[in-house]
Structure 1
Amino acid sequence: MSHAHYSKLWLVTRKDAEKLLKLDETIGNLKSWKSKEDCLNKILPMYLKYRNLVKRLMVCYNQMVQPQKRDLIKQVLNCAIGRMLEYKREIVKLECSDYVWPDNFLIEMKFTQDDVDILSRSYYATDRTRELEERRKYINDLIDSANKPPESIIIETHIIEQTMPSAIDVRNTSSPIKVTKARKVKTGEPSRMQISLESEEHKKAREAREAMAKLWKSTITLIQSHERARSARCIGERARKQYIRNIKLNQGQTELKKPEKSARKQAAMIIQRTWRRYRAREALRKRADRVEELLDMKIPSWRNREVFEKDEANYRRIQNLQPEAVWHLEERTDEESARVHAIKAAGLMEDITDEIREWFILWYNELGYFDIFPVATAGGSILVATGQTLTPEEYLLEKLQKAKKKEKSKGNQKTKEESDENKKLANKKKGKSKTDQAKSQQLSTSESKAFPGLLQANNDFHHYWEFRDESSNPKQREYLDLITEKLCYELQLEMREIVDELMRAELEKLKEALMKDHADDKVKLDAPTAVKAGKMKKKKKEKKDPLGNMAPEDIFFELARNRIIRSQSVVRLKEWIGDLSYQNYEARQELREYRHRLGEVKESVIDYCILPLLSKESHQVAPLVRSICICGLPRHGKGMLADAIFTEVGALVLDLSPETLLNKYLGKKEQNRLMNMVNKVARSYAPSVIFVKGGERPWLKKVPRELRYLQPKRLAALFTKFIKGIKSGDRILFLSTSSEPYKASKKFVKIHEKVILIPVTDYNTLYMFYKELLMKYHGVDRNLDVSCLAKLSVGLPLEFIRQTVENVVGIRRRITLKFKPLQQREIMEELLSYDSPGPKILEQYRKFEKTIPLEKERLKMLANERELREKINSPKKKKKK
């Protein structure tokens, strides 16, 4: 599509964002809610609108070429992600669940599920492929360079006259060995014949293997020659018989039996009728298949990819234009920066100097002394220029108020203390329960980190872009006036720093001269003085680097050599197949038990793991989630979800699983050093994911004998300390996967802020999965009923089902599909071989789920709501007379 299309899409999206901001501000200013339902009725539509806004902004950002406009869109996108996740946090607090089913609001707003699905299939045509590929290639190159030795020593040998029994018995052997000297060869040089020390037994075994191979080869050759001779004899016999028959026919010894003309005609008619009926049936079937394909009622084994390939090529073209546009912008900025510095730098310094001196003169003329020069950390002379410093009149008023406060008696202080105590007692009586009003106050826009950024981006659009005519810029070139304005602002800040240093020195000299003039006065000059050094806040001492200022690259190489940093396998989140729970909205209204499905798991992974790590800005404004655990039965997709997170984010993976750390970094000092290295590398190469496979092992209640050699609990305390040190903007996530979370202690649940439970497979998901799995084979009947297969497979892992189908529909079976259609029982027989975990393990999982704090709150909330509904619906007893 053209640049104009995405420019229009951006303008429409921005108008919707502006309306959403106004609505958000009105909701944020509300101080109280009538009930929890009223609060949810306001919050849920806002959450859905923000999800739809984020999806459209992603498309605009990825398809836009103009770099200055893309910077503004990126700012809006990051803040919209943060605000959306803030609303999600409040919904989770109210509903006591990480999963949302707002079916009624989707119907009201005329949204489909695809409209609010951020990483849907349609989005993948416009994803961040180029950035992620570059990031993945960069990390893999670093890992390869770390594992690549500088040089290798190759030992060359020609002939070994006598072999040794083993390398240990070299000293005891008397047989001479001829070995050439070792030489150093650079990596990449073809290797020579390696040294080999062969014993007598090994030599006999080798000779026996060689003799067996020769015998096997001669046997095969003999069989082949006999088979070819047999087939040649058969062909010769058939040719001889045909030759004799032809001679007899020529000599008239035998006659051919010719069928009657009527019989031949009847046979031709039968053949023609059968063929025409067959053609008619095929034509009708193809027509019906075509109609069903057009209506999406049938899944074809092959689709025409021409339109998709054209769209992909267009997307690649835009992706290649984006870095070119950024390069042009930087080149133009450098040229304009040199011009602006040459023209305006000197004049700016004079103007700023005159402005500050006028401030000096104003204070001296009014009060006879000077004010304190603002500190550089507070803004310096910018506070003077913007009028944020005190005027002489304001300084005198403040001085009088301080004098009055000192005159107040101590009795007033006692009354204040009494009033404070009364307030505390009143607060205790009210209690600190989580009421709807308290929860609604957290939605205030003043407390939001993302809302001010959205307002600022909206103001920037009004200031720079609203009245700009872009019809004269069809190629989306950069705008010079925006570059100049930005450079002038940066130049002013740069010049102010220089001028402030000079004017501070000048003010000190003026104050010294003033103090000399008033040295003989009886009344001391009451001029404002700077804060004493003792009263100033002590600056935090910079923490010493426990690694001795070791370079991050060196740490990276060391961790890569120890296999702690590993290359990631490319797995897209779109490969995760799972349907949503369409019945849970009604179940929630009726206060029935309800559970999430695999589709909701995907949404939680997007909200908590992927979106916050996309950029530093989004991680700063989004609610901080430091640690996540993905729990599920074996082979239910935990590893696939983890790999999908690494791929979608382009994260650096630091594997701290007990198996990876076996016999590495032993002892407290080495363990502390390891965590310090991990901390430094993770921050230097963000986004980073600290991954622990078997996440329950560091917090096991009792370590089994078969796992004691791993020493799984040695890093548990350091993990806790590391997670607490993660802050907003670090783009670090502690991710673990667990197949047996019920074996861990309570600390395991406490240390993970979010626990994502992968449920067992359901009918809807399995029906979709079987359709996608079987319909890719051309010979499989399009009308094959997979409903019975889905019903039978409920609870079976998808990976096992995939392997089963691939085993059943192998190459040999696919050849016979045309005349021997696939039957459901063939797959059913293989599915019955699955070894289920058993009811005990499933019961342990359910018990563990109830120990999660959020699930506890949900169950309590449902119980309270049931009691209230029973009280309301129960018939009132008649009072006895």
Structure 2
Amino acid sequence: MSFDLNHKYWVSTRKDIAQLIKKQNRLKKIAPPGEKAVSFKIFAELYVLYVELVAKLGFIYHHTFQVQKRAVVRTLVESATQQLMQLKEELKELEMSEYVYLDKALIARKLTPRDLVIWRSPQFLYRRPLDIQNIIADNRLYMNDVEKEEKAAQDFVPITEAITLIQAHERARRARVYKSNIKYDKKKFLKVMQRKKINYRFTFKPDQAMSIPVKRTIFTADFIKNTEDCDYLRTKDDVGEDMAAMMDEEAENMKRNRAATVIQRWWRGYRTRKIVKIKKRFKEELYGMKKMRKLKRPNQRADAVMEMYKHEMLKRKLDEDYVNLILDERTRLMQVRSPWMMEDISDHIRAWFAEFYQKTQNFHPYPDPVKKGTVLVVIDETMTPLEFQQTLGKKPLTKEEKKKIRDKERKDKKKKREKLKLIKMKEAKRRKKLRDAGIIDIAFAIGESKPIIAIEETMKKYSEDWRNVDEYLNKNHDPIKEWVTEDELCKIHQEVRGLVDEYMRVEYELLREALAKDNEEKYTPLKVKYPKKKKQKKKKKPKDPTGDRTLDSLYNELKDGGIIEEVSTKDFDEFIADFNFVADDTRDEDDLTTLGPAKGDIKMVIQESMLGMGEFDIPKPKSLLLIGPLNSGKKLLCNIIASELDAVFMNLSPEKTYKYADDLKYFLHLILKVAKAFQPTIMYIEEAHRLFWSKVPPEAKDINPRLLGSSIASKILKPLKKNDKVVLVGTSNMPWSAKGGIRKAFQKILLIPRCDYGTSFLIWLELMTENCPDNMAEYAYSALARVLQAYNSGDITDNIKNTLSIERRMRLQTDALDPHEFLEYFINEEHPPIFPIEDKFMEKFNKWFGSSNKMMKLRKSFMAKKNAKAKK
């Protein structure tokens, strides 16, 4: 992205933020709406605006390199994302569901549900330290020159081994081609092989004429004739032989040239035909004669990752330059300005002494270090000469009088606190009463929102600090040196003033002693109150059994033990699913949706739950459980989460952990230490209900499935802090078989919806046009999606993969694909028949999910209250 475009994008985003702040300021003054629908509409509009704002600020933050400006944009994007999550929680409570539908707000902004996706992988990734990243991924982008040379030496492959490897792949390729040629016409081939043997007897009659005339060819060439006899060898001419060899070489070259010409002619012909075909298809689509039916995915550049790391390297270099600039400027200021600064401070304090002596013939008490010393003089928080004069004539207070004054101040403070507490309690009760009636005090929610306050303060400070700075002229991303000088001068001034106060206190005491001699009074030095040093309580650190080991060895131990696994690179677009576009139109009299979510809606909920795993401080659940029938995409989603976050993937399924049963305490310590050190980390448990079985089946006793069940809540989740980028993700296809502990172990439980028509259509369309778009351009996808809609997405994917095999794709031009072939896969005799999910089975999932999910329980209680009122 160019500098000019980024600058224009930032200017337009600032205008959007200003408009949003104006809108929020108007909403801070409105009375609580009387209807729930009005509150929902206001929050929905704000949510859509914040989604757009977060997307823009995330993109700007990713492409902003100037250090001081990047800090401003970071505060804005973090605060905007936090406010976005708060708005989503409000909408969920109003909707009483994990899934929120904002069709009216989207239509007003001309957006689609896909535009509500907040996750932007490169912008929100959490960056690990370099030494940690070098352990995880042997990536040369993170290495210095010495490490690159060492790695290159290790990766060197001898030429002989390389040739052997190439030959092996070439032989394997030839074998695959040979096998494909044999199986090209499978039916005909099988008929030839299965043909019955016919007994045939040969008879020959010399005088009988042939019934079928046969042309006979007489060959006179003798290819075995040897002309090199003795006479030929005696008269052989070496020069003539060389000429013959040259002639043979020219002939070979001519053959090669002719062969190359033929190959080039065929290649150019093929290429021309392909270009003509593409142009013809483009014209047909342009004129509306024909349309290509193919799922459109967001454009993703192939070099996006490389560009991201280049940006990271540039930012790291600019950060180092900025730190060096601060150190250099601080050193310069200490050498040049600090002596004059100390002189100015001491002159100012002496002038303060002189002013009080001239007006009161006495000296103001020297401010104690506990009250920040003579900083009070600068900010005018000391007594004036007149006030000090009035205190001189008074008698000093006794201990009892001082105690009474302190007690009175305490009582006054206590009354104020109790009064404020009472006001807050009344306000909270009022809002709760309104919320129970479905009404939200929008003015309070927006006015007391900390992220909104942070955004307003940041924009105000930006407008003050940057009003005289022309950002467009700074194309080299240089830091603004004047600000560095001001900040360091402020820090140096505070440090130097403490030192000057100690010297000036001595001078102050000398003046008081001289004044006491002149007045013939007893001199008593004043007591100095220094700030008490907080005694840090020494907490007993738990013994670390791996304290003497490196992180590299711990990581490799878990990797060798099969706990840490490598996941394939996938993104959320690979979970093919459609959104629910009709739920918003099917609301009941309580303005609640009556139609369940579509499969695509689950992606948005999971992305919001994982947003806290990124760079910014955003709340997130510590554990997540995905439930649903087999082949519904649970494991694929876990793989996508780990891949999108570039997270370390720890498989804690019983098949992996049973071998650590002898030393479980050490194992739990090991996985927690590695997970925190290498965060972001995904801890994955497949079929998590096995950890909470009430009775273990005999066939599963070998893997000890309940080993980690009792340790998840107390030993894994409890030690994790809010800021730790570690999350436990589990899957289950039979959650009702587990005890109640599974609900305590997983903070958030999500049910993957069954496959709907839109999702089924997109799966058939995408997977069938992926490898053969020309032959599958016009196919009965809608009919297939409607007929086989009840099947899970995994079953449909396996069906397409097996039916559209390589051999079948080779015969598509001659043998068209029959839709019955897909049906035959489900009822094939080679494997057990596959049937759609029964409604009773899905009802079982819905029932368990309704008693486990927070929002579903809220909706159930609301419906129960409504029915009770209706009965009365």
TM-score of the superposed pair, with normalisation by structure 2: 0.69
Moved more, 365-374 or 415-424: 415-424
Instruction: Provide the secondary structure at the position in 1 that maps to 2:694.
Output: coil
Q: Which letter does structure 2 place at the counterpart of 1:556?
A: Y
* 1:496 corresponds to: 494
- State the Cα distance separating 1:844 from its structure 2 match: 2.2
The aligned runs of 1:5-24 (5 Å cut-off) are 5-24=5-24
* 1:259 corresponds to: none
Instruction: Provide the secondary structure at the position in 2 that maps to 1:342.
Output: helix
Q: CA distance change for structure 1 residues 730 and 664 in 2, over 3 Å: closer, same or farther?
A: same
Aligned residues of 1:546 and 1:676 also touching (Cα < 8 A)? no
Q: CA distance change for structure 1 residues 828 and 867 in 2, over 3 Å: closer, same or farther?
A: farther
- State the Cα distance separating 1:805 from its structure 2 match: 1.2
* 2:857 corresponds to: 856
- State the Cα distance separating 1:605 from its structure 2 match: 1.3
* 2:541 corresponds to: 544
Q: Which letter does structure 2 place at the counterpart of 1:588?
A: R
Q: Which letter does structure 2 place at the counterpart of 1:791?
A: R
Aligned residues of 2:126 and 2:614 also touching (Cα < 8 A)? no
- State the Cα distance separating 1:585 from its structure 2 match: 0.7
Aligned residues of 1:63 and 1:318 also touching (Cα < 8 A)? no
Q: CA distance change for structure 1 residues 679 and 796 in 2, over 3 Å: closer, same or farther?
A: same
* 1:347 corresponds to: 337
Q: Which letter does structure 1 place at the counterpart of 2:41?
A: N
Q: Distance in 1 between matches of 2:683 and 2:16?
A: 38
CA deviation digits over 1:75-128, x for unaligned, max 9?
322222121111112222222212110111112233333433335xxx78x768
Aligned residues of 2:330 and 2:488 also touching (Cα < 8 A)? no
- State the Cα distance separating 1:8 from its structure 2 match: 0.8
Q: Does 1:683 align with 2:676?
A: yes
* 1:596 corresponds to: 597
Instruction: Provide the secondary structure at the position in 2 that maps to 1:736.
Output: strand
* 1:559 corresponds to: 558
Instruction: Provide the secondary structure at the position in 1 that maps to 2:586.
Output: helix
Q: Which letter does structure 1 place at the counterpart of 2:332?
A: A
- State the Cα distance separating 1:574 from its structure 2 match: 1.7
- State the Cα distance separating 1:765 from its structure 2 match: 0.6
Q: Distance in 1 between matches of 2:728 and 2:100?
A: 24
* 1:241 corresponds to: 214
Instruction: Provide the secondary structure at the position in 2 that maps to 1:577.
Output: coil
Moved more, 23-32 or 771-780: 23-32
CA deviation digits over 1:769-804, x for unaligned, max 9?
111112231453422112221122223222221221
Aligned residues of 2:651 and 2:683 also touching (Cα < 8 A)? yes
Instruction: Provide the secondary structure at the position in 2 that maps to 1:860.
Output: helix
* 1:747 corresponds to: 741
Q: Distance in 1 between matches of 2:416 and 2:12?
A: 56
* 1:213 corresponds to: none
Instruction: Provide the secondary structure at the position in 2 that maps to 1:598.
Output: coil
Moved more, 90-99 or 327-336: 327-336
Q: Distance in 2 between matches of 1:315 and 1:682?
A: 24
* 1:646 corresponds to: 642
Aligned residues of 2:118 and 2:608 also touching (Cα < 8 A)? no
Aligned residues of 2:295 and 2:765 also touching (Cα < 8 A)? no
- State the Cα distance separating 1:625 from its structure 2 match: 2.3
CA deviation digits over 1:438-479, x for unaligned, max 9?
964896456544334423432353244454334545xx2023
Aligned residues of 1:96 and 1:857 also touching (Cα < 8 A)? yes
Report percent identity of matched pairs: 20
* 2:607 corresponds to: 606
Q: Does 1:372 align with 2:371?
A: no
Q: CA distance change for structure 1 residues 453 and 487 in 2, over 3 Å: closer, same or farther?
A: farther
Q: Which letter does structure 2 place at the counterpart of 1:830?
A: Y
* 2:578 corresponds to: 579
Moved more, 427-436 or 448-457: 427-436
Q: Distance in 2 between matches of 1:315 and 1:709?
A: 44
- State the Cα distance separating 1:746 from its structure 2 match: 2.8
- State the Cα distance separating 1:848 from its structure 2 match: 0.5
Q: Does 1:623 align with 2:622?
A: no
Q: Which letter does structure 1 place at the counterpart of 2:594?
A: E
Q: CA distance change for structure 1 residues 330 and 371 in 2, over 3 Å: closer, same or farther?
A: same
Aligned residues of 1:779 and 1:814 also touching (Cα < 8 A)? no
How many residue pairs align between the two structures? 720
Moved more, 414-423 or 43-52: 414-423
Q: CA distance change for structure 1 residues 493 and 735 in 2, over 3 Å: closer, same or farther?
A: farther
* 1:718 corresponds to: 711
Q: Distance in 2 between matches of 1:140 and 1:415?
A: 58
Gaps of 5+ in 2: 141-153, 159-209, 219-275, 828-832
Q: CA distance change for structure 1 residues 552 and 624 in 2, over 3 Å: closer, same or farther?
A: farther
Instruction: Provide the secondary structure at the position in 1 that maps to 2:74.
Output: helix
Instruction: Provide the secondary structure at the position in 1 that maps to 2:134.
Output: helix
Gaps of 5+ in 1: 145-185, 191-236, 246-282, 875-881
Q: Distance in 1 between matches of 2:687 and 2:14?
A: 45
CA RMSD of aligned residues (A): 5.2
Q: Distance in 1 between matches of 2:653 and 2:565?
A: 12
Aligned residues of 1:781 and 1:822 also touching (Cα < 8 A)? no
Moved more, 514-523 or 103-112: 514-523
Q: Distance in 2 between matches of 1:334 and 1:798?
A: 56
Aligned residues of 2:584 and 2:593 also touching (Cα < 8 A)? no
Q: CA distance change for structure 1 residues 187 and 725 in 2, over 3 Å: closer, same or farther?
A: same
- State the Cα distance separating 1:383 from its structure 2 match: 6.8
* 2:813 corresponds to: 818
Instruction: Provide the secondary structure at the position in 1 that maps to 2:750.
Output: strand
CA deviation digits over 1:294-334, x for unaligned, max 9?
7697336899x9x979x656995686366346525634763
Q: Does 1:457 align with 2:458?
A: yes
- State the Cα distance separating 1:369 from its structure 2 match: 2.2
- State the Cα distance separating 1:47 from its structure 2 match: 0.9
Q: CA distance change for structure 1 residues 94 and 382 in 2, over 3 Å: closer, same or farther?
A: farther
Q: Does 1:758 align with 2:752?
A: yes
- State the Cα distance separating 1:30 from its structure 2 match: 5.9
Aligned residues of 2:294 and 2:765 also touching (Cα < 8 A)? no
Alignment partner of 2:628 out of 620, 625, 632 = 632
* 2:310 corresponds to: 320
* 1:138 corresponds to: 134
* 1:479 corresponds to: 478
Aligned residues of 1:608 and 1:625 also touching (Cα < 8 A)? yes
Q: Distance in 1 between matches of 2:364 and 2:97?
A: 66
Q: CA distance change for structure 1 residues 31 and 675 in 2, over 3 Å: closer, same or farther?
A: farther
Q: Which letter does structure 2 place at the counterpart of 1:330?
A: E
Q: Does 1:696 align with 2:655?
A: no
The aligned runs of 1:386-397 (5 Å cut-off) are 387=379
Q: Does 1:298 align with 2:296?
A: no
CA deviation digits over 1:260-282, x for unaligned, max 9?
xxxxxxxxxxxxxxxxxxxxxxx
CA deviation digits over 1:688-715, x for unaligned, max 9?
2233222233333333333333333343
Alignment partner of 1:732 out of 726, 729, 743 = 726
Aligned residues of 1:370 and 1:511 also touching (Cα < 8 A)? no
Q: Does 1:802 align with 2:797?
A: yes
Aligned residues of 2:628 and 2:732 also touching (Cα < 8 A)? yes
- State the Cα distance separating 1:513 from its structure 2 match: 10
Q: CA distance change for structure 1 residues 731 and 711 in 2, over 3 Å: closer, same or farther?
A: same
Q: CA distance change for structure 1 residues 742 and 626 in 2, over 3 Å: closer, same or farther?
A: same
- State the Cα distance separating 1:860 from its structure 2 match: 3.1
Instruction: Provide the secondary structure at the position in 2 that maps to 1:607.
Output: helix
Aligned residues of 2:626 and 2:752 also touching (Cα < 8 A)? yes
The aligned runs of 1:55-74 (5 Å cut-off) are 55-64=55-64, 66=66, 68-74=68-74
Q: Distance in 2 between matches of 1:738 and 1:88?
A: 27
CA deviation digits over 1:810-832, x for unaligned, max 9?
22222322232212111122134
TM-score of the superposed pair, with normalisation by structure 1: 0.69
* 1:792 corresponds to: 787
- State the Cα distance separating 1:645 from its structure 2 match: 1.2
Q: Which letter does structure 1 place at the counterpart of 2:320?
A: E
Aligned residues of 2:94 and 2:438 also touching (Cα < 8 A)? no
* 1:233 corresponds to: none
Q: CA distance change for structure 1 residues 438 and 767 in 2, over 3 Å: closer, same or farther?
A: closer
Aligned residues of 1:80 and 1:454 also touching (Cα < 8 A)? yes
- State the Cα distance separating 1:606 from its structure 2 match: 1.2
